[in-house]
């Protein structure tokens, strides 16, 4: 008797092998002589079809208790299936209902909207779509590690609690142990010296600054962890808690940075298309027709590379009426990013050299003193998926930029020290994991590609 996952059972040749399967019942069809049910255990998209020949085995009591959603253990023999849907089916000898499902189980046969499923985030992983997303996330996570590990990068665990604002945008969730209803004050201001860390602290928006520290010692490093942003943007591509992958490379300029970002994305795409084939075919069929062909084309393409100034020229030549302005100096909005990737280049585009006013303090200033060595990777349907840059490695320029950006130079003393002791040209970028998963699965809303979304006014589970 083999105790296998359904994925393995479905790969066996159906020659009367005895197997035991455990999982949750998706559907049941019960007639006088025979009962069919579909069993899923999350190991793959496909269900195991189980047949109970009522004239041969007496399992009437268990069949009666086994509703949609129940957990069961079933034993029997694998046989070729007469149906077209699957190659083999399990002919049950024995059935145990481990946990019954009450009749109000919400995931009955009909298809539910993603909005409804968001309200039952504790049950939605039992649907085809959310099971597939979980498996694709897993495959993508492993592919990310394999890309860096094969290239000698060190996996770095950057802190979640931080005293600095990496993006300088002030969109941080503060953490404190001070009593909120009556915090201690001096001169009318909250006295953070009495707080747990003796100063103001927050949840990190990025592990980049710490990655720069380790890149300045180990050469090439990457982080892969949760990041938090208190942006008040209620869009289909923003989360308050999301996962980010941030490589940082010493002795690497913006061109080297772009090369790594491009081969990185292609590597994960190829791995997913190969290792999560069944799930990707499901997304292609049910969520976004043409998805696989599109991603395959990207995986073997060369990404377009343009400057921000050229991007603005493209937008100003466009016949489209954009909602947001396209003057030099304005930030690119989602509609502009989609226009560039979908209408102009029909594929990913890397945009470089943005105006310094719309980018973070740490980006290397170009000789024109107007633009910085930023590089954003934009992809069709999503827009910005990666944000990165070459970093300012000159002490005086960096100090000036920190002050110009309205930040307190003394808070960044250790960051400036890296420019005093053996500074090197270095670069890095951040890939938003959920934006990436959105892109490869074709899912419309970012809330549906993370197990438990946190967004404005939403943190239920």
Q: Is 238 in the site for ligand 4AD (CB under 6 A)?
A: yes
**Applying CB under 6 A, what is the total number of residues that bind ligand 4AD?**
22
Tokens coding 338: 């989609």
Residue with Cβ nearer Mg ion (383 or 387): 387
Q: Which stretch binds ligand 4AD (CB under 6 A): 60-68, 107-115, 235-243, 277-285?
A: 235-243
* Of positions 25, 221, 386, 402, contacts ligand 4AD by CB under 6 A: 386
391 binds, among Mg ion, ligand 4AD, none (CB under 5 to 8 A by kind): none
**Residue with Cβ nearer ligand 4AD (95 or 244):** 244
Phi-psi region of 422 (alpha: psi -120 to 50; beta: other; left: phi over 0): left
Site string for Mg ion, 164-203 (x = CB under 5 A): ----------------------------------------
Question: Does residue 168 belong to the site contacting ligand 4AD (CB under 6 A)?
Answer: no
Stretch touching ligand 4AD by CB under 6 A, among 105-113, 287-295, 334-342, 428-436: 428-436
Residue 432 interaction partner, one of Mg ion, ligand 4AD, none, beta carbon < 5-8 Å per kind:
ligand 4AD
Q: Does 441 bind ligand 4AD (CB under 6 A)?
A: no
| Shorter beta-carbon distance to ligand 4AD: residue 47 or 352 | 352
User: Token digits for 415?
Assistant: 């960051």
Q: Residue 124 or 435: which CB sits closer to ligand 4AD?
A: 435
Stretch that binds ligand 4AD, among 71-79, 330-338, 399-407, 432-440 (CB under 6 A): 432-440
HEC letters along the chain: CEECCHHHHCCCCCCCCEEEEEEEEEEEEECCCEEEEEEECCCCCCCEEEEEECCCCCCHHHHHHCCCCCEEEEEEEEEECCCCCCCEEEEEEEEEEEECCCCCCCCCCCCCCHHHHHHCCCCHHHCHHHHHHHHHHHHHHHHHHHHHHHCCCEECCCCCEECCCCCCCCCCCEECCCCCCCCCEECCEECHHHCCCCCCEEECCCCHHHHHHHHHHHCEEEEEEEEECCCCCCCCCCCCEEEEEEEEEECCCHHHHHHHHHHHHHHHHHHHHHHCHHHHHHHHHHCCCCHHHHHHHHHCCCCEEEEHHHHHHHHHHCCCCCCCCCCCCCCCCHHHHHHHHHHHCCCCEEEEEEEHHHCCCCECECCCCCEEEEEEEEECCCEEEEEEEEECCCHHHHHHHHHHCCCCHHHHHHHHHCCCCCCCCEEEEEEEHHHHHHHHHCCCCHHHCCCCCCECCECCC
- Taking the complex as a whole, the smallest distance from the CB of residue 199 to Mg ion amounts, in Å, to 27
Rounded to the nearest whole angstrom, what is the least distance from the CB of residue 80 to ligand 4AD in the complex?
47
Residue with the CB atom nearest Mg ion in the bound state: 387
Query: Which residue in the set 38, 165, 434, 448 belongs to the binding site for ligand 4AD (CB under 6 A)?
Result: 434
**Residue among 245, 251, 238 nearest 268 (CA):** 245
**Among Mg ion, ligand 4AD, none, what does residue 267 contact (CB within 5–8 Å per kind)?**
none
Instruction: Considering the complex, state which of residue 14 and residue 387 has its C-beta at the smaller distance from Mg ion.
Output: 387
273: how many CB neighbours lie within 10 A of its CB?
A: 17
Residues of span 375-404 touching Mg ion by CB under 5 A: 387
State the nearest-atom distance from the C-beta of 206 to Mg ion, in Å: 10
Q: Within 75-94, which residues bind ligand 4AD (CB under 6 A)?
A: none
Tokens of 171: 């969109």
User: Which 175-214 residues touch ligand 4AD, going by CB under 6 A?
Assistant: 206, 208
Nearer of residues 135 and 401 to Mg ion, judged by Cβ: 401
The CB-of-207 to ligand 4AD minimum distance in angstroms stands at: 7
Query: Of 419, 311, 308, 310, nearest to 362 (Cα)?
Result: 419
| Site size with Mg ion, rule: CB under 5 A | 1
* Contact predicate 432/242, CB 8 Å: yes
* 280, 268 contact by CB (below 8 A): no
Given candidates 92, 239, 292, 365, which one binds ligand 4AD under the rule CB under 6 A? Answer: 239
CB of residue 243 vs Mg ion: minimum separation in angstroms? Answer: 15
Among the listed ranges 91-99, 287-295, 383-391, 400-408, the one in contact with ligand 4AD (CB under 6 A) is 383-391
Pick the piece of the chain touching ligand 4AD (CB under 6 A) from 5-13, 260-268, 385-393, 418-426: 385-393
What residues line the site for ligand 4AD (CB under 6 A)? 166-167, 206, 208, 229, 231, 238-239, 242, 244, 246, 384-388, 428-430, 432, 434-435
Interacting residues with Mg ion (CB under 5 A): 387
């Amino acid at each position: 008797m083999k105790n296998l996952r359904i994925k393995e059972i479905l790969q066996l040749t159906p020659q009367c092998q005895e197997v035991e399967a455990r999982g949750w019942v998706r559907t049941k069809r019960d007639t006088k002589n025979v009962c069919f049910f579909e069993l899923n255990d999350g190991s793959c998209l496909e269900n195991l079809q189980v047949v109970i020949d009522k004239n041969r085995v007496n399992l009437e009591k268990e069949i009666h208790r086994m509703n949609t959603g129940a957990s069961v253990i079933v034993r029997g023999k694998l046989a070729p299936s007469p149906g077209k849907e699957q190659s083999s089916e399990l002919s049950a000898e024995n059935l145990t209902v481990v946990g019954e499902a009450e009749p109000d189980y919400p995931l009955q046969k009909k298809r539910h909207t993603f909005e409804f499923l968001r309200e039952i985030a504790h049950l939605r992983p039992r649907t085809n779509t959310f099971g597939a997303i979980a498996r694709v996330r897993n495959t993508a996570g492993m592919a990310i590690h394999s890309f860096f590990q094969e290239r000698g990068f060190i996996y770095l665990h950057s802190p979640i609690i931080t005293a600095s604002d990496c993006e300088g945008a002030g969109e941080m969730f503060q953490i404190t142990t001070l009593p909120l209803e009556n915090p201690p004050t001096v001169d009318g201001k909250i006295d953070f010296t009495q707080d747990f860390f003796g100063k103001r602290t927050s949840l990190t928006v990025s592990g980049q600054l710490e990655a720069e520290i380790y890149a300045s010692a180990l050469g090439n490093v990457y982080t892969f962890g949760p990041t938090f942003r208190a942006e008040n943007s209620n869009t289909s591509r923003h989360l308050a808690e999301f996962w980010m992958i941030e490589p940082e490379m010493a002795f690497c300029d913006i061109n080297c940075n772009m090369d790594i970002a491009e081969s990185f994305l292609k590597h994960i795409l190829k791995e997913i298309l190969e290792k999560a084939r069944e799930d990707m075919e499901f997304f292609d069929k049910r969520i976004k027709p043409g998805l696989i062909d599109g991603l395959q084309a990207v995986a073997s393409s060369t990404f377009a590379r343009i400057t921000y100034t050229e991007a603005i020229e493209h937008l100003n030549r466009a016949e489209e009426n954009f909602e947001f302005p396209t003057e030099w100096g304005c930030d690119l909005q989602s509609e502009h990013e989609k226009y560039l990737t979908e209408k102009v280049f029909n594929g990913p585009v890397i945009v470089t050299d943005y105006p310094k006013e719309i980018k973070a303090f740490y980006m290397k200033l170009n000789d024109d003193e107007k633009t910085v060595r930023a590089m954003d990777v934009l992809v069709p349907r999503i827009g910005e998926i990666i944000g990165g840059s070459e970093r300012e490695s000159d002490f005086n320029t960096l100090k000036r930029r920190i002050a110009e950006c309205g930040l307190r130079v003394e808070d960044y003393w250790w960051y400036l020290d890296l420019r005093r002791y053996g500074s090197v040209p270095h670069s890095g970028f951040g890939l938003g994991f959920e934006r990436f998963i959105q892109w490869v699965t074709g899912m419309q809303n970012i809330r549906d590609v993370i197990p438990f979304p946190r967004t404005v006014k939403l943190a239920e589970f």
